[in-house]
Amino acid sequence: MKYSYGAAKEKNWFHSKKIALLQCMLTVSTTLVSYGVALYMGHVKLWPIPMISYCGVHPPEKFIFSIGLVCSAFLMFLFIWIVETAGKVYSSQTTAWLLGFPSSIGLMVLAVCNCEEEPTLHYIGAITYFLCSAIWCLLCSFKELSVSTDCFIFVTNENHDWACL
């Protein structure tokens, strides 16, 4: 179901969905490719499955891991900038600044600092990324639930866009 929250809030919304999807796909594919290359090169074992951080320690998977996750962090930052600071549906500018941006910066730090060369920075980045992402996703989910349950009456305009009353 399509909701309309005003002309200003609809600006760039379609493109931001593509950015979020691309960011998720890039993160997952970077993780899987890094694991595959590390496994192929003999840097990690098949069982037990290693922490993903150990799949980004040695060349060549180190470069795949770093470049892929830095690009993913940039896309996350861009998505948060477009959606959160523009007053979109999910949460607020405060949430973006307290959780979204630190999450993307944490992902960048964990990607650039590997767990053997700079373990303290790597784990600070990892904790920041995972903790802020989890809390941000929860807040966005609750916000989306409250928006969707508040909308009981729908009207359409000449463009057949839905609007909540």
How do residues 28-69 score in pLDDT, each as one tens digit? 999 999 999 999 999 999 998 899 899 999 999 999 999 999
User: Can you tell me which residue has the tokens 């399509």?
Assistant: 2
Question: Using CA atoms, how far apart are residues 57 and 87, in angstroms rounded to an integer?
Answer: 39
Q: Which residue ranges make up each domain of the chain?
A: 7-164
DSSP 51: P
Please report the beta strands in the chain, taking only residues with DSSP state E, as ranges in sequence order. Answer: 154-156, 162-164
165 pLDDT tier (thresholds 50, 70, 90): very low
Residue 3 has pLDDT above 70, yes or no: no
pTM to 2 decimal places: 0.75
DSSP 100: I
Provide the pLDDT for residue 154. 44
Token code pair at residue 42: 């003999």
Say which amino acid occupies 117.
E
Residue 148 has pLDDT above 90, yes or no: no
Q: What is the DSSP string of 104-159?
A: HHHHHHHHHS-TTTSHHHHHHHHHHHHHHHHHHHHHHHHHHHHHHHH---EEE-TT
Question: Using CA atoms, how far apart are residues 51 and 6, in angstroms rounded to an integer?
Answer: 44
Choose the CATH number for 7-164 among 3.40.1000, 1.10.10, 1.20.120, 1.10.3470.
Answer: 1.20.120
* Whether 29 contacts 68, CB under 8 Å: yes
Question: Using CA atoms, how far apart are residues 76 and 67, in angstroms rounded to an integer?
Answer: 14
